[in-house]
Chains A and B, each alone.
Chain A
Amino acid sequence: MRKIWIGTVLSCSLTFIGCGGGEKPAETAKSEATAPAGGGGTATPDEVNGGTITGKVAFTGDKPKMATLDMSAQPKCEAAHKGEVVKSQEVVVNSNGTLKNAFVWIKSGLPDKQWAIPANAVSLDQHGCMYEPHVIGIVAGQNIEVKNSDPTNHNIHPMPQVNADWNESQSPGEPPKMKTFPRQEVMIPVKCNVHPWMRSYIGVVSSPFFAVTGDDGTFTIKGLPPGTYTIEVWHEKYGTQDQQVTVGAKESKTVDFSIKG
């Protein structure tokens, strides 16, 4: 009889532990990034006197065939695309032979400074049951405005390794959620457990020196202090590549990456 009571108490204990859902307080994450934008003791990019790195991420080799997403589990998602075939965004090769959605950032070489956290939030929207944009970058502590523009329910589940993870629902018409990650982490995958084809990536960098390639495959990083840097490109399928670059005051350098498919 004692064992039965112990078992009952154990199961009730687990039940109470399980109650309450999976949310972590947003205030905890935000309180770790309290440096005000442009405030005393923080540095900002010097776009007047600083150096600039531009470049492109080229793709070589056969263009991979992307899988068609099956949205039949949610008719509202299919309807949002009006009968168009929706392909995976894992590899998007632009018409000029460059890669879209490559994350480029200054990995090392920056002076040891506290960089200002931009006051504006970066938008991450759920539209047509896809994340828009597919890849975003934020300064550690900068807000992400997570929106649901769909007429269907989503949940947002980032899967960080260094930062605290969370998993929250967002119904249609619900106000945007303001979230942040206080620690540098390149990259954090994000998925929706309701719609398993949805995937995006968030690059969290402790400095403002990063960029995401767009439809032309190019990137520009401005306002760098003079110095020698390691610049890295990350792609969700093809991994990372590093290059060294030295840039002086008011100097512009070009760094091109070539990723083989």
Chain B
Amino acid sequence: MHPTFVDSVWLRRYAALVVCSAFALVVAGGLVTSNDAALAIPDWPLNWGRLIPPLEANIRYEFAHRVLALITALLTAGLAVKLRTRLAWTALAAVLVQAGLGGVLVKYIDPAWAAVVHAALAQLFFGITVALVGQVSDLPRAPAPFIAAVALFAQTVLGAAVRHHIASLIPHIFGAVVATILVMWAGLSTLMTHMDHPALRRPALALLSLTFSQVFLGIAAYMARAATADAPQPMPLMVWITVAHVAVGSLAFGAAVVLAGQSAQPASLPQRTAEA
């Protein structure tokens, strides 16, 4: 047991702030991609040769993303220094690699493979921060939530591949069917056996509701894209529906991580134990 985490309410709140910051960063990244603003700042790590660029049009999206990245990295560094656990250091390494990948994207003018890796690592980083708050300490004893989490992560990778035009929609749709079935298996089996344990019931309910929302958001995102395919610029409705799809996908993945982490705890102990 890691004494600092359980004993300190402020540390738990700080960790939750890191999670919120990571989620905001995912949303900001989604806005950058959907608004085609990834290269609105053509240099890195400076911004138009300065610390603060002219805040015009798409430059605002990209700069906001970079500022949030810096804030998130600093918050994560603080948490890693305080916790000094393997998972915390992994989170810090992930956010630093993400920053480096951002530079690669600018220097090499947005190669599709780097954009997909950047998107995937963003989700993984978010999942790690969620695991930190959930104090995941062990491999899950029930495989279903873990498999559901893996399936949802795979969906985010497929979705990024579609967004960056290196894969068709078909694998992502097929993945959605598979992920939904796996989520139902994980969520419903948890509810059937642990309805009386809020530590398991709540993430299971969140996972199910978020995933079902994702299905409809995905359909809406596809319809919005199809309707605006000939538009001369990204249209607001398409942008916001697509970003919502990305955001809810992250939340669903986070719920799966929490459920997988909670299912690693003995069912007789509703309280969390500290992570290794």
Binding site for B on A (CB under 8 A): 4, 7-8, 10-15, 17-23, 67, 69-70, 73-74, 88, 90, 152-153, 155, 157, 165-169, 171, 191, 193-197, 199
The interface residues of chain A lying within 8 Å CB-to-CB of B54 are 153, 171
Q: Does B11 contact A (CB under 8 A)?
A: no
Shortest beta-carbon distance from B99 to chain A in Å:
7
Contact-residue bracket for chain B: 35 or more
State whether A22 touches B42 (Cβ < 8 A): yes
Asked if A11 and B96 make an inter-chain contact with CB atoms under 8 angstroms apart, the answer reads: yes
- Residues from chain A with a CB closer than 8 A to the CB of B276 are none
Name B48-99 residues within 8 Å CB distance of A. 48-49, 54, 56-59, 89-90, 93, 96-97, 99
Check B43 against A21 for contact (C-beta < 8 Å).
yes
Residues of B close to A17: CB separation below 8 A: 100, 103-104, 107
In the bound complex, residues from chain B placing their C-beta under 8 Å from that of A69 are 232-233
CA of A133 to CA of B45 in the docked complex: distance in angstroms?
A: 33
Cβ contacts A to B, 5 pairs, < 8 Å: A8-B93, A11-B96, A22-B39, A74-B56, A196-B234
From B101, B103, B232, A88 is in contact (CB under 8 Å) with B232
- Are B56 and A194 touching (Cβ within 8 A)? yes
Q: A7-B89, A15-B99, A15-B100 are in contact. Are A74 and B57 (CB under 8 A)?
A: yes
Interface contact A22-B43, CB-CB below 8 Å: yes
How distant is the Cα of A9 from the Cα of B90 in the complex, in angstroms? 13
- Using A7-B90, A167-B42 as known contacts, say yes or no to A193 and B103 having CB atoms under 8 A apart: no
A19 touches B45 (CB 8 A): yes
Q: Flag if B48 contacts A193 (CB, 8 Å).
A: no
Residues of A within 8 A of B102 (CB): 18
Given B38, B46, B89, B104, which contacts A193 in the complex, CB threshold below 8 Å? Answer: B38
CA gap between A199 and B38 in the complex, in Å:
16
Residues of chain B lying within 8 A (CB to CB) of residue A14: 97, 99-101, 103-104
User: Are A197 and B107 neighbours in the complex by a CB distance under 8 Å?
Assistant: no
Main secondary structure of the interface of A (DSSP, over half): loop
Which residues from B are CB-within-8-Å of A10? Answer: 93, 97
Which residue from chain A places its CB closest to the CB of B35 in the assembled complex?
A196
CA distance A21 to B59 in the complex (A): 15
Q: Which A residues are CB-close (under 8 A) to B104? A: 14, 17-18
Interface residue from B35, B36, B39, B57 paired with A167 (Cβ < 8 Å): B39
Bound CA–CA A191/B43 (angstroms): 17
Q: Least Cβ distance of A158 to chain B in Å?
A: 10
12 A-B pairs besides A69-B232, A194-B58, A197-B232 with CB distance below 8 A are A7-B96, A11-B100, A17-B104, A22-B107, A67-B230, A67-B232, A88-B232, A153-B48, A155-B39, A168-B42, A171-B48, A196-B233
Expressed in whole angstroms, the minimum distance between the Cβ of A246 and any Cβ of chain B is 39
B17 within 8 A of A: no
Determine if A18 and B59 form an interchain contact, defined as CB atoms under 8 angstroms apart.
no
A-B pairs, 4 with minimum CB distance: A18-B103, A14-B100, A21-B43, A7-B93
Q: In whole angstroms, how far apart are the Cα atoms of A69 and B100 in the complex?
A: 35
Contacts of A70 in B (CB 8 A): 233
A15 close to B103 (CB less than 8 A): yes
A153 to B102: give the CA distance in the assembly, Å: 22
State how many angstroms separate the Cβ of A90 from the closest Cβ of chain B: 7
* Bound: A246/B207 CA distance, A: 69
Interchain CA distance A13-B260 in the complex, whole Å: 33
CB-contacts of B214-266 with A (<8 A): 230-234
Q: Given that A169-B43, A193-B58 are known contacts, is A11 also in contact with B99, CB under 8 Å in the complex?
A: yes
Q: Does B40 reach chain A (CB closer than 8 Å)?
A: yes
Q: Which of A15, A22, A169 contacts B109 (CB 8 A)?
A: A22
A165 vs B42: C-alpha distance when bound (angstroms): 13
- The answer to whether A13 touches B42, judged by C-beta atoms less than 8 angstroms apart, is no
